[in-house]
Amino acid sequence: MDRLVIEGGVPLQGHVVISGAKNAALPCLAAALLSAEPVTLRHLPAVSDIRTMVKVLQALGCSAEIEKDPEGFELTATLCAAGLEQGDLRAPYELVKTMRASILVLGPLLARFGKASVSLPGGCAIGARPVNLHLEALERMGAEISIDKGYVEAQVPGGKLKGMNHTFEKVSVGATENILMAATLAEGTTVLRNAAQEPEITDLAQLLVKMGALIEGIGTPVLTIRGVEHLDGGEHSVVADRIEAGTFLCAVAAAGGDVVLDRMIPEHVRSLIDLLERCGCVFTERQGQEGMQLRVQREPGQKLRARDVATSPYPGFPTDLQAQVMAVLTQASGISVIKETIFENRFQHAMELERLGANLRIDGPTAIVAGPCALKGCTVMATDLRASATLVIAGLVAEGQTTVDRIYHLDRGYAGLERKLQALGARIQRVGGGSVS
Ligand code: UD1
């Protein structure tokens, strides 16, 4: 099994190009099921979750042509969901259990074919993560849903979902995406209130509009979708990954250095920029040749200040950057309080950070970090995707050698993280096998 070996203490210097967002790419791939014509997606990150979603689509009967970019960080995929009617429209447990986002095929399948069978995703390292909000909304659109032998068995009497007025009980990224896709082919108009506003949803909505969907209120908590008879194919470049960008910002904040992030959208990480600025980092934004550039600087030896942060839905501070920011705050002078409000069990990285020398206390949904902590390298184990990134960041800071084990979690969502860090001068090596990206 691969692991990363890091020699800490080197400030990061140079340029890094941010890849397309995994969390935007996944629903965009699922959206290919809505049309019988080809959908071409560019800037997909070359990560294992994308390969899993492509496998789910292939299992359902889609064709897929994939090309890797010369550097190996991104993919272009052309998916075609023509001729699926003959299949049994079943997303199998073997694939779904490795990636919860597979549930995103449910809305498109029901909307286009009036039936679907999707394995329930099951448990997850960071919390319960139920799918009740997805299922309740689809039922309100006329789907009949039962759970049988671990599968969500769904069908729509009459074949067509119906538009509805719906207020999500809780803000959910995945439920908003699933129901948005379902509503594009429903009979009549759907109004979704308390919809999530994450940039990945805006990106999905933009693809759907290119395919012929009629959507108003994109980027707001109220989405109005007028159903159409069918959707066309389309071409789309997936938005830059704000979580990958945020991870690099945290790496520079923690390890020190001067790095320019290319092809990203600073507005999408505004809450992190604000926090790191208050900690003492310096940011400069400018228009680059391929989109915006963001420069982050922290002089070696410059002290960081402790600050408090609480996660919340976009535009609030993302739960997917909570772990990385904890590594930064171990280097800040004073007491920082981190509150996790989205997932109930998302502090597993804290124990591993403690092994590296972090001074932390967890109290329910709150983590208290007393810094600055002198981190010392040792072997640590990744427990989930973002926790893995935190351990890499801590390894970049720690004195001596840090080994991060179980990095298959990291490979689910970061395209060549170690290669991008090497290019910034970090001493980091993958050992035990080849890179999957
Ligand atoms: C997505 C992201 C994930 C991110 C999360 C929150 C993808 C592929 N994943 O996950 O990286 O951490 O948003 O920003 O985009 N909930 C329910 N019932 C439901 C659905 C959700 O109670 O049916 C709860 C969840 O348990 C959680 C909260 O709602 O407490 C938010 O979850 P949600 O926004 O749905 O997360 P995902 O879409 O799974």
Distance in Å, CA 130 to ligand 1 centroid: 8
Distance in Å, CA 173 to ligand 1 centroid: 6
- For ligand 1, say whether the CB of 130 is within 6 Å of any of its atoms: yes
Nearest to 417 by CA among 365, 382, 374, 366: 382
Predicted confidence at residue 196, as pLDDT, reads 98
What pLDDT digit, counting tens, does each position of 142-183 carry? 999 999 999 999 999 999 999 999 999 999 999 999 999 999
> Catalytic: 378?
no
Candidate list 62, 124, 250, 373, residue with the active-site label: 124
pLDDT band of residue 129 (cuts 50, 70, 90) is confident
**Which of 102-111, 159-168, 189-198, 424-433 is predicted least confidently?**
424-433
Residue-wise DSSP of 78-123: EEE-TTGGGS--EE-HHHHTT-GGGGGGHHHHHHHHSEEEEE----
Nearest to 306 by CA among 275, 283, 272: 275
- For ligand 1, say whether the CB of 343 is within 6 Å of any of its atoms: yes
**Which residue ranges does the chain devote to CATH 3.65.10.10?**
3-18+241-431, 22-237
Nearest CA to ligand 1 atom 12: 320
Distance in Å, CA 12 to ligand 1 centroid: 32
| Structure tokens given for 434 | 């080849």
- For ligand 1, say whether the CB of 302 is within 6 Å of any of its atoms: no
- For ligand 1, say whether the CB of 317 is within 6 Å of any of its atoms: no
Burial of residue 170 (number of CB atoms within 10 Å: 0-12, 13-18, 19+): exposed
- For ligand 1, say whether the CB of 26 is within 6 Å of any of its atoms: yes
Residue 36: Cβ within 10 Å count: 16
Nearest CA to ligand 1 atom 35: 172
- For ligand 1, say whether the CB of 175 is within 6 Å of any of its atoms: yes
What pLDDT digit, counting tens, does each position of 373-386 carry? 999 999 999 889 99
- Asked whether the predicted pLDDT for residue 370 surpasses 70, the reply is yes
- For ligand 1, say whether the CB of 188 is within 6 Å of any of its atoms: no
Percent of the chain at pLDDT > 70 equals 97
Distance in Å, CA 167 to ligand 1 centroid: 16
Distance in Å, CA 313 to ligand 1 centroid: 10
Tokens 């538009």, residue located: 163
Measured CA to CA, the distance from residue 96 to residue 52 in angstroms comes to 8
Nearest to 52 by CA among 384, 413, 389: 413
- Asked whether the predicted pLDDT for residue 366 surpasses 50, the reply is yes
* Nearest atom (ligand 1) to Cα of 200: 15
What pLDDT digit, counting tens, does each position of 230-278 carry? 999 999 999 999 999 999 999 999 999 999 999 999 999 999 999 999 9
* Nearest atom (ligand 1) to Cα of 314: 14
Average pLDDT for 324-350: 95
Measured CA to CA, the distance from residue 29 to residue 50 in angstroms comes to 8
The CA-atom distances, in angstroms, between 101 and each of 27, 28, 256, 258, 296 are 8, 11, 35, 35, 32
- The better pLDDT of the pair 118, 291 is held by 118
- For ligand 1, say whether the CB of 132 is within 6 Å of any of its atoms: yes
Average pLDDT for 403-412: 93
| Structure tokens given for 108 | 């498109």
| Structure tokens given for 229 | 């008879």
The mean of the pLDDT values for the chain is 95
- For ligand 1, say whether the CB of 339 is within 6 Å of any of its atoms: no
Q: Please tell me the CATH superfamily of domain 3-18+241-431, with its number.
A: Enolpyruvate transferase domain (3.65.10.10)
Predicted confidence at residue 340, as pLDDT, reads 97
Distance in Å, CA 188 to ligand 1 centroid: 27
Average pLDDT for 135-146: 97
CATH of domain 22-237: 3.65.10.10
pLDDT band of residue 433 (cuts 50, 70, 90) is low
Q: Side chain identity at 104, as an amino acid letter? A: L
What pLDDT digit, counting tens, does each position of 11-70 carry? 999 999 999 999 999 999 999 999 999 999 999 999 999 999 999 999 999 999 999 999
Predicted confidence at residue 84, as pLDDT, reads 86
pLDDT band of residue 75 (cuts 50, 70, 90) is very high
Nearest CA to ligand 1 atom 17: 130
| Structure tokens given for 244 | 């990958």
Nearest CA to ligand 1 atom 13: 173
Nearest CA to ligand 1 atom 39: 174
**Under 8 Å between Cβ of 298 and 337:** no
* Nearest atom (ligand 1) to Cα of 132: 23
Based on C-alpha coordinates, what's the Rg of the chain?
A: 22
H or E element at residue 259: strand 257-264
Measured CA to CA, the distance from residue 355 to residue 418 in angstroms comes to 22
Distance in Å, CA 172 to ligand 1 centroid: 5
State the first-to-last Cα distance of the chain, in angstroms, to the nearest integer. Answer: 15
